[in-house]
Structure 1
Amino acid sequence: MDNGFVVLNEESDLELAEKSIASNLKLLEAMKKSDPTNKDLLQLLCTGYTSYALGFVEDTDVERAKIFYLRAKEFGIELLKQNKHFDENATLANFENSLSTFKKSDIPALFWTAIAWGSYISLNLTQPEALADLPKVEAIMKFIIKTDENYYYGGAHFFLGALYGSRPKIFGGNPEESKKHFDKCLSINEGKFLMTYVYYAKTYAVQIQDPVLFQDLLGKIDEMSEDVLPEARLSNVIAKKKAEILRNKFNELF
């Protein structure tokens, strides 16, 4: 099953990938019913639903994306709770302390749970109970940076760049930190993980109201082939699609 997702990540046909991921996710859920604590299944379900929502749902159906992100988060929490020290409802201090009990091998579970959790929060910014969890997601990503900052093409830096770049300063935004994390992410993935440019433009460039930078970042996506990173070809194809959607919103953003 792991190999199946590796092959999907290398796919360039969006329609084929969307149908394949959806069918694989339902198969995984069926398998989980007979083996509910299987770590590999929980990881694949968390990663799969997060990726599906981000790549194929969020831009066209926000309410449906919320459902999938929440489902992904719940699978991830199930996996993390196999560590007896972890409790998603703990106080922030106790939550942060529990992260030290995880090992480098736990980084995929932590990362994809945090991506699902953070994405769900980003679509529920008017819900205080959702926003209250954001410091915990931030704590997970900071732990990942300390433990293995290179994981998933510098993904924790990517997340923090988007987090600090998407909010006004009065609500915890920090354009300087956003830029620092995006630049570090690009350094780690050598500018080949094209989704980095999408969110750099969508968050930081919009926050500082720099239309030239915005167009320049999206232009880099146009210039590069999705094959620049074969093992993430699908993500790069999705990045190109998202870049076009974002470019069409230029007049709304500036």
Structure 2
Amino acid sequence: MILKWSIRIIISSTLLFSCSMQSIVISQMEPILDNSALALFEESDYEFAKNALPGNLKLIEGLLKSDPENEKLLLLASQGYAGYALGYLEDEHPDKAKLFYLRARDYALKILRKDEAFSNAEKSGVENLKQTLSTYNRDKAPALFWAGFSWAGYITLSLTEPAAIIELAEVEILMQRVEELQPEYFYGGVYLFFGSVYGMKPGIMGGNPEKAKSYFEKSINLTESKFLLAYIYAAKYYAAKILDEDLFDEYLQKVEESSVDVLPGAQLMNAIAKEKAAYLKSKKEELF
């Protein structure tokens, strides 16, 4: 009996040591992964980044197999899958984009659901969720943003599904807290979210084109007109919605004439904006 317990203790200790060592090794890799993500966002070649992203994402997921609660890895995975869906899938392959947006959402929600209060609040109504989020500090803004951004991406591609549209209420609560905590995060991405919501909704459901415009202008002003995706969202969810062709063309022309290098660190996002500008131009007759 003593021998059996001794063997069990040894095995358990070995497994614990192995898991601990894996976590230590991964934590030492985190600065490398951060720099890799930065280098990717600094990439100005749209196609090169497209080929690089999947390998990076599978590396992160492989590391998550060894350290599934690692918040840095979860956030990088969420950001990566959301970026890939936005930049390379949603226009031409919406069904696949929806799956990637959900994967991105779930990685970010896994961070938030580590807080039992958040998990309980999700199940008990929007007012309880608001109350829980009111206790959160600025360090929660990235996970809230990527959960909301990814979820919104999925909903935007699922407007014929009532169940998906109902979920927008929870997404708005997440993003409202981001706006309160850190509105400048990811180049004012929360402003693009609310601009899109007010532009996309019909008036009877709270849509308001002028509010949409004001939010897009907040993002544009924040980055001194250098984050070109703001013009893409403004063209699609404001100019097209009010049927202003001249303004639509003006927004897209701004993207076309700007260099992707105008905002260091966001070259890839600006390259994506240029691709989207070309796509929107090709769909202009459908939009108007």
Which bracket does the TM-score occupy, shorter chain normalised?
Answer: over 0.9
Structure number with larger C-alpha Rg: 2
CA-CA distance at 1:132 after TM superposition: 1.1
The one of 74, 79, 85 equivalent to 1:53 is: 85
Letter paired with 2:129:
F
- Distance in 1, Cα, partners of 2:103 & 2:179: 25
The one of 112, 115, 121 equivalent to 1:83 is: 115
The one of 138, 148, 152 equivalent to 2:172 is: 138
1:71 paired residue number: 103
- Distance in 1, Cα, partners of 2:149 & 2:61: 20
- Distance in 2, Cα, partners of 1:44 & 1:75: 9
CA-CA distance at 1:89 after TM superposition: 3.2
The one of 209, 224, 248 equivalent to 1:190 is: 224
Letter paired with 1:238:
I
Please tell me whether residue 27 in structure 1 is matched to residue 62 in structure 2.
no
Letter paired with 1:28:
I
Q: Secondary structure at the match of 1:85?
A: helix
Letter paired with 2:61:
E
The one of 104, 117, 135 equivalent to 2:151 is: 117
TM-score between the two structures when normalised by the length of structure 1: 0.97
- Distance in 2, Cα, partners of 1:90 & 1:238: 38
- Distance in 2, Cα, partners of 1:14 & 1:237: 6
Letter paired with 2:73:
L
The runs of 5 or more residues in structure 1 that have no matched partner are none
Q: Secondary structure at the match of 1:173?
A: coil
Cα deviation, 1:11-54, whole Å, max 9, x if unaligned, reads: 01122211211111111111111111111111011111000100
Cα deviation, 1:188-211, whole Å, max 9, x if unaligned, reads: 111100000001000111111111
- Conserved in 2, the CA contact under 8 Å of 1:32 and 1:41? yes
Please tell me whether residue 107 in structure 1 is matched to residue 141 in structure 2.
yes
TM-score between the two structures when normalised by the length of structure 2: 0.86
2:256 paired residue number: 222
Letter paired with 1:50:
A
- Conserved in 2, the CA contact under 8 Å of 1:77 and 1:113? yes
Cα deviation, 1:162-185, whole Å, max 9, x if unaligned, reads: 111122212331112101111111
Please tell me whether residue 12 in structure 1 is matched to residue 32 in structure 2.
no
- Distance in 2, Cα, partners of 1:28 & 1:90: 33
- Distance in 1, Cα, partners of 2:41 & 2:270: 10
Please tell me whether residue 95 in structure 1 is matched to residue 95 in structure 2.
no
What is the CA RMSD across the aligned residues, in angstroms? 1.1
Residue correspondences, number:
254
The runs of 5 or more residues in structure 2 that have no matched partner are 1-32
2:68 paired residue number: 36
Between 1:192-201 and 1:83-92, the stretch displaced more is 83-92
